[in-house]
Structure 1
Amino acid sequence: MEKEILHSDEELMLRVQKGDMQAFEVLYDRYNKRLFHFILRFVRERNLAEDILQEAFLRIFKKRKSYRKTAHFSTYLFTIGRNLCLDALKTWEKRHIFYDQENYVKKAMDLSKQPPEKLEDTEMSEIVQREIHTLPRDLREILLLNKYSELSYEEIARIVESTPAAVKQKAYRAMVSLRRKLKKL
Structure 2
Amino acid sequence: MTQLSNKSDDDLLSAFQSGDKQAYEIIYDRYWQILFRFARKMLQDETAAKDVVQEVFTAFWIKISEVTINPPLAAFLYTLTRNKILDLVKHLKVETKYLASLNKMIQLSESLPDRMYIEKELYDQIELEIKKLPEKMRIVFEMSRKGYKSNKEIAEELNLSNKTVKNQIGNAIRILKSKLGNSIHIYLTFF
Q: Please, what TM-score do these two structures have when normalized by structure 2?
A: 0.48
Question: Which structure is higher in RCO with an 8 Å CA cutoff and minimum separation 6?
Answer: 1
| Larger CA Rg, structure 1 vs 2 | 2
Q: Please, what TM-score do these two structures have when normalized by structure 1?
A: 0.49
